[in-house]
Amino acid sequence: MKNVSVTFTLNGDLVTAEVPATWTLLKTLREYFELTGTKEGCGVGECGACTVIIDGNAVSSCIYPILEVEGTSVTTIEGVADKNGALHPLQKAFLENNGVQCGFCTSGMIMSAKALLDHNPKPTKDQIRTSIAGNFCRCTGYVQIVDSIEKAVEMIKEKK
Amino acid sequence: MSDLLYVGKNIPRTIEVDKVTGRAIYINDLKRPGMLYGKILYSKYAHAKIKSIDTSKAEKLPGVRAVLSGYTIPDVRVGFLKDQTVLKKGVVRQFRDEVAAVAAISEEIAEEALDLIDVEYEERPAVFDPAEAMKEGAVLIHEVDARGKPITSNIIPLPWKFKAGDIEQGRKDSAYVVKDNLATTWVNQCCMGTSGCVAEFDMNNNLTLYNQTNVPFLDKQRITEYLAAIGLKGKNVRVVNVTVGGSFGTKLDTDIYEFISIQLALKTRKPVKILFSREEEFRALPPRQPARFTIEQGCDKDGRLTFRKCEALLDNGAYTSWGVTTPSVMMMPMSSLYRVPNVSFEATCVYTNNIYCQAMRGYGNPQATFAVEVSMDRLAEKTGIDPAELRLINSNKSGDLTPMRLKITSCGLEECINSVKKSLDWDNKKSKNRKRGLGMASLIHVAGGARVYLSDGHGIMIKVDQNGHVDVLESGTDQGQGSPTVISQIIAESLGFRPEDISLTFGDTGLCLWDAGTHASRHTFMAGNAAIRACESAKRQILQIAVEKMPRLIKNNVKREQKKNPNFLEPELDYDMISDPEKLDIKNRMVFPKAAPDHKYFRFEVSDILRSGLHVGIGESKVVVAEAFYDPPTEMLDREMKGNLSLTYAFGTTGVEVEVDEETGKVTIVNLFAAHDVGKAINPTLVKGQIYGAAYIGAGYALTEEMLVENGRVMNPNFRDYKMLTAKDVIPVEPIIIETDERDGPFGAKGIGEPGLVPTAPAIANAIYDAIGVRINDLPITPEKIITALKEKKKQD
Ligand code: FES
Ligand code: FES
């Protein structure tokens, strides 16, 4: 199979991937860039485990064709903490409020929540729940995930 | 206990920072050098004869390294009743039967190779209803048993019969009796991380299995036996867990895919990974055991239970995993939830051509408690006694010995019922509001281990290095429950260190001691008790070093002072205070005499002590290492299925307020209070996390979740058609933590992993009845069932 060359910004770095045209963004992230933080829970766009942010929007990378990534800016869970390793408020809040249990849904959850907070720094509880409605979690019952996101909102406010 | 520094505190899960930064390695992420990808070909029929398998085309596909079938690997039986082989030969008995397997250099090539395998089948008649399958003359699923003896019936010869007291006497003593039929169905555990493992042999044929099991040591045992049976006797098996993407019981058995990856790795001499797709997870992973119950219960005119009689019918599917043992757990609520003197419970398990089942959070308890608690409500209605009151009248109490011979130690059941009542404003709201309804249900569950194997032990090893860092080899597994945090809290507290001083390795059979498994809500209880014992020993060792080395450290400090200030006089010091380990203590890494904790000269950072014990010449150096093996004084169930299998029991009550839309049949949970006797909450936030998560799975069990199995085939193997609740289906769970300070628990704690799920479905079912006056006795209670039942009722009215 012939590879295609796709250039985009990945967690702040300009990168080029040479992968088969049939690959998804998820496969490219995990196999070409070895960024395995983005998970596959279903592979067909139904669970949200593979959520990344493309140009500010949360998307399911498992059904996102790599060709469409050309020229975009992609953020994955590996790009959420700052370059010095300081955790993002969402990451801190998930640890402090038990928003993470097995952790398999966590990358996707944090990316969906981050996409929300980047647009809307003061979301309502309902907006928070809507933003993660496509992210399944089997461990937490969502309550402490929503708590975590609310706490992150407060932390971000305090920082400003 | 008030001066606890870490136990009882909401210590964050900082130790698991890898999970929020994408660094944690799950089985999906694990890559070994030269690794191949394994894929499995499943049966096309629910029941058929395999006439031939032709793998030649698949073998020729470039990139394929091995193709195996039941005809090319040794014919060795595996599983709980040894009623199946790894790859099937001769006959397939269900759609998930593994017929062939491929290893290739990529997943895509492996998939492609599966399509090239030609299997010729001759379809056979099949049976999918256990009631049909147990009839004489029904299609036989198996012709011979594990020993080759002919089988003449699909009924599995397992001794699930429990009797205590005298049912007929109980019946005579009854003023009221109710009898009902109830049913629960297949539900999938739906771990977000799918199943998988990587098998790798070294050149001496020792195996490392990277896995996500709940039972590393049993897994090792089963695989060791399997290797011996295929000619690799005496080879070592090391089971190493990676980060586990959820379990909920799925990882209690050694699944067929594990054996297949082992066979492929053996054949190719390369590491082989098998990773399930979501569809495979639905089709080829054993789900929760369904059950049908006929339950009869009576009470006297004052509401005191007189007897409980229940018969259960279980669809075993085509082979036997742990699903068939769920009646052993069903017996617990059947015999011991509330005080009931006369009990009879009998379960019949029948082979069919359906999928077979495994464990899921709560084991058989959610099924059985659904039956018991709906029946309790019916009895309350018949007697005219308020359902909460009926439960209080019959509540278990501390000191009880139940008909199953469970010894009830601490028991917070009455408190749980009362607190739920109060939170729901039960007395004012119950049965008052049309379309809104209240319901409750309680539970009993093992919470101090579960002796289902001769050893219910848990081993732990602790070493403390000269810098005061603590490495812990913990034999259990963490599937997300938060054990790294909880166990480090217990160790920090017991040893006098801080949680951040502790690193833990879980479930590696090459490093850790035996553990019966992280199941039965036993982990905090067992590992906690083991940790406390190991810490006692480690602490004693550190304090012994302190007794020996402190005087010299003190002298050095005095000398240093004198150097700075020549006029400094050596103070008069009472060395007796530090003359015996008993007289010393450690807290927050500081070693000090109990008699004078803030003593200016007698207080040392623990690493000063540890270094002074290590860096001292030949024959004197000391390292601190301690191990403990905790095996609680409990009993295996005897032939009558009686015995105190756990050192303590969890109790809890869930109370629910629902609103039902009679037009659409939609049920909204308005309030859900989950009161649990947890003994002691080591980490309240994490305890609540267990309750939230379990209650939410329980709500799905009640309302939406159902694997649609038609003629043996799973019809909804995806998240679109299998309805899990999402963040938008707000289940307003309010945990209520009741602490009874269990005398045998670590710092008073009991297990809480499973309980939250158990009473949720019956509480919701009872609330729906209170709202609309019709009972739906088979789960899930879908809008369609509600509408149909309401129509029926209207017709009758
Ligand atoms: S893996 Fe992409 S949505 Fe499930
Ligand atoms: S934390 Fe396990 S699936 Fe969300």
Which of A 45-74 lie inside 8 A of B, CB atoms?
46-47, 49
Provide the CATH number for the domain around residue B208.
3.90.1170.50
Handedness of CA B40, B45, B48, B51 (dihedral sign): negative
Degrees (nearest 5) of the Cα angle B357, B360, B361?
Answer: 165
Assess whether B614 and B746 both reside in one domain. no
> At how many degrees (to 10) do helices B523-564 and B483-495 cross?
50
- Give the residue, by CA position, lying nearest to ligand 2 atom 2: A102
Can you read off the two tokens belonging to residue A129?
A: 């729940």
Residues of B in Cβ contact (< 8 Å) with A95? 12-14, 16-17, 20
Cβ–Cβ below 8 Å for B191 and A140 = no
Comma-separated ranges of CATH 3.10.20.30 domains in chain A: 3-79
- Hey, CA dihedral for B522, B700, B354, B152, is it positive or negative? positive
Does residue B445 sit in the same domain as residue B548?
A: no
Show the CA angle centred on residue A26, arms to residues A20 and A27, nearest 5°: 40
Indicate if B309 and B223 belong to the same structural domain. Answer: no
Asked whether residue B483 falls in the same domain as residue B360, the answer is no
CA distance B171 to chain A (A): 42
Reduce the DSSP state of residue B90 to 3 states and report it: coil
Over pLDDT 90: what percentage of chain A?
96
Strands B733-738 and B667-677: parallel
Closest-CA residue to B340 (of B403, B412, B289): B403
Is the CATH code 3.40.50.150 the one for domain A3-79? no
Ligand nearest to the CA of B696: 2
Same domain, B441 and B518: no
Q: A1 falls in which pLDDT band (50, 70, 90)?
A: low
Rounded CA-CA distance B148/B143 in Å is 9
A33 in contact with B at a CB cutoff of 8 Å? no
Q: Where in chain A does DSSP place strands (E)?
A: 3-10, 13-20, 51-54, 57-60, 73-75
Asked if residue B212 is part of any domain, the answer here is: yes
Residue of chain B whose Cα is closest to the Cα of A133:
B727
Look at residue B283 and tell me if it is in a domain.
Answer: no
The neighbour count for residue B303, using CB atoms within 10 Å, is 20
Smallest CA–CA distance from A134 into chain B, residue? B726
- Cβ-contact A23, A66 below 8 angstroms: yes
Residues B420 and B484 in one domain: no
Interface test with A, best of B10, B16, B19, B20 (most A CBs within 10 A): B20
Where among B226, B244, B275 does a domain terminate?
B275
Which residue has tokens 């058989």?
B364
Residues on chain A touching B17 (C-beta within 8 angstroms): 87, 91, 95
Of A1 and A45, the one with more pLDDT = A45
Q: Does B367 lie in the same domain as B483?
A: no
| Pocket-testing residue among A102, A107, A132, A143, ligand 2, by greatest number of atoms within 8 A of Cβ | A102
Contact B254, B222 (CB under 8 A): yes
> Pick from B630, B657, B682: which residue ends a domain?
B630
Nearest Cα neighbor of B359 from B245, B225, B254 is: B254
Nearest to B13 by CA among B688, B680, B489, B476: B489
Token pair in block for residue B571: 């103070």
d(CA B610, CA B621): 10
Stretches where chain B sits below pLDDT 50 are 1
Contact predicate B592/B584, CB 8 Å: yes
pLDDT, position B2 = 57
**What Å distances lie between residue B617 and B351, B466, B543, B550, B557, CA to CA?**
69, 15, 20, 17, 21
Chain B (234-293) residues lying within 8 Å, Cβ to Cβ, of chain A: 243-248, 277-278
Please indicate, yes or no, whether residues B353 and B249 belong to a single structural domain of this protein: no
Q: Is residue B498 part of a domain?
A: yes
CATH code at position B649:
3.30.365.10
Do residues B422 and B438 both lie within one domain? yes
Q: Domain for residue B738, yes or no?
A: yes
Does residue B172 lie in a domain region?
no
- Per-residue pLDDT, B231: 97
Q: Report which ligand 2 atom has the smallest distance to the Cα of A103.
A: 1
Please report the DSSP string for B169-236 in residue order. Answer: HHHHT-SEEEEEEEEE-------SSPPEEEEEE-TT--EEEEE--S-HHHHHHHHHHHHHHTT-TT--
d(CA B696, CA B330): 21
Q: What's A89-159's CATH class?
A: mainly alpha
Predicted confidence (pLDDT) per residue in A3-14, tens digit: 999 999 999 999
Q: Which ligand 1 atom is at minimum distance from the Cα of A60?
A: 2
- Within 8 A by CB and 6+ apart from B130, the residues are B292, B313, B314, B315, B316, B348, B350, B352
Contact in structure between A135 and A112 (CB atoms under 8 Å)? yes
| Residues of chain B neighbouring A103 (CB-CB closer than 8 A) | 16, 19-20, 24, 243, 245, 480
Q: Is residue B164 part of a domain?
A: no
- Given a contact cutoff of 8 angstroms between Cβ atoms, the answer to whether B32 and B3 are in contact is no
Q: Nearest residue on chain B to A34, judged by CA atoms?
A: B29
B170 part of a folded domain: no
| Radius of gyration, CA atoms only, chain B | 29
H-helix or E-strand spanning residue A108: helix A106-119
- Contact between residue A139 and residue A101 where contact means Cβ atoms under 8 Å apart: yes
Dihedral (Cα; B351, B354, B355, B360), 10-degree rounding = -70
Do B393 and B529 belong together in one domain?
no
Do B235 and B107 sit in the same domain of this protein?
A: yes
- In-domain check, residue B355: yes
B727 interface with A at CB cutoff 8 Å: yes
Ligand 2 atom with the smallest distance to the CA of B245 is 2
User: pLDDT tens across B728-738, in order?
Assistant: 999 999 999 99
B194 touches chain A (CB under 8 A): yes
How many domains does chain B contain in total? 3
Residues B614 and B531 in one domain: yes
Q: What does the pLDDT look like over A32-74, one tens digit per residue? A: 999 999 999 999 999 999 999 999 999 999 999 999 999 999 9
Write down the pLDDT at residue B1.
45
Parts of chain A belonging to CATH 1.10.150.120? 89-159
Under the phi-then-psi rule, with left for phi > 0, alpha for psi from -120 to 50, and beta for the rest, what region is B520? Answer: left
- Among candidate residues B630, B658, B693, the one where a domain is terminated: B630
A134 pocket-lining for ligand 1 (C-beta < 6 Å)? no
Domain containing B624: what range?
457-630
Q: How many CB pairs under 8 A join A and B?
A: 161
B 675-714 residues inside an 8 A Cβ radius of A: 685-686, 688-689, 692-697
